[in-house]
Structure 1
Amino acid sequence: MRRGVRGTWCGALLLAAVLVGGATGCGSGSPPGPGSPGPAGTSSTPGTSGTSDTPGTPGATTEPGAPPSDSRPGRVLVEVVVTGGFAGVRNQLVVRQDGGWTVLSGTKPPRTGRQTPAETAELRAALEDPAYALVPARPTGRPVADGFQYRVTYRHRLVVADDGDRPPALRRVFAALPGGGPPTSP
């Protein structure tokens, strides 16, 4: 019985040491410097949103509502993937910051084009509209039989919608896309 009490005390002391060590931050005791990873991989650089305009581009940040820092042809503004429909399509539309766009549809050759600066500005305004930020990330209504599903990626935020569930802010984005909407043709 004496041994059980000693083991309990040792366990309690070990637990207290872990809790105290965790509360003090274990390590140098100083906060991470600017730009260094903070808790859970967050950046401690003040004034950055931590989002990137181009997937896989570390450190590329843009404040909400601010114009893009550049318009290099490879920088993605928005990506829309359309799946489903009666014919079972899978189409991808990528619009770049400079207004250039590409549509991939099955085994067909890619279609490309360029929006005017005014059209690109309208698309950017629709994507940056505060109402678009409130569009649910997943459909909330009933799916439409043989309908399309739309996956819209903008600044690493994915919105999934279907034909039966397209809020006005999402319809505004769709109307500003090249061709007047997401690519649904097989």
Structure 2
Amino acid sequence: MERAKRYGSRYGAAVVLAAVVSVTGCSGAPAQTGDKPGLSVPPVPTGPATPTATATAGRDEPAPQEVLVEVVVNGGFAGVRNKLVVHYDGSYTTRSGTKPPKDGRMTATEVAALRAALEDPAYAKVPDRPSGPPVADGFQYFITYHHRLVVAGDGERPPALQRVFSALPEGGPPTSP
């Protein structure tokens, strides 16, 4: 028991010494954070930890490769599941069944139109779920924008949702397998 206490205190001293070395550096001199003598800690950086956002006019702008909107279409007679992902920089990828993904790029004007459609207050009022009965062998559309999922069925596209689809590359993901 005596021996365990002795080794435990040596281990504890080593941990403290390692912490001091990591804070002060190998020279033993304190990190310079001001004119105060003694042990000090380097300043903690403020702002985003990664270059994924930059402050613009008081709000964070997403990084160009962040997803702006994702649209998935399911259903139909053939049972399709196709997907369109558009990034803030206008690049997009369409996946259709087992075919290789297809990449493209929207113009700055097209991206601005899509963002305007998605940020339209009328779009925020589009119901999250279909309100009518499902259409037999119809398609369901799943639109994700800013962590909000809107599900729409065939024939259930209010004007604000239709404006989003009109602004999407190729009008959204294909409905063919």
Give the TM-score taking structure 1 as reference length.
Answer: 0.62
Match of 1:69? 61
Residue segments in structure 1 that go unaligned for 5+ positions in a row = 1-56
Match of 1:155? 146
Match of 1:40? none
Q: CA RMSD in A?
A: 2.5
1:143 aligns with 2:134: yes
Match of 1:43? none
CA pair 95-175 structure 1, distance change in 2 beyond 3 A: same
1:120 aligns with 2:106: no
Is the 8 Å Cα contact of residues 81 and 96 (structure 2) preserved in structure 1? yes
Percent identical among aligned pairs is 69
Is the 8 Å Cα contact of residues 54 and 60 (structure 2) preserved in structure 1? no
Equivalent residue letter for 1:171: Q
Equivalent residue letter for 2:137: D
CA pair 68-148 structure 1, distance change in 2 beyond 3 A: farther
Match of 1:82? 73
Structure showing greater radius of gyration is 2
Is the 8 Å Cα contact of residues 132 and 169 (structure 1) preserved in structure 2? yes
Equivalent residue letter for 2:61: S
Rounded Cα–Cα distance in structure 2 between residues aligned with 1:62 and 1:136: 32
Match of 2:22? none
Rounded Cα–Cα distance in structure 2 between residues aligned with 1:158 and 1:62: 26
Q: Between Structure 1 and Structure 2, which shows a larger proportion of strand residues?
A: 2
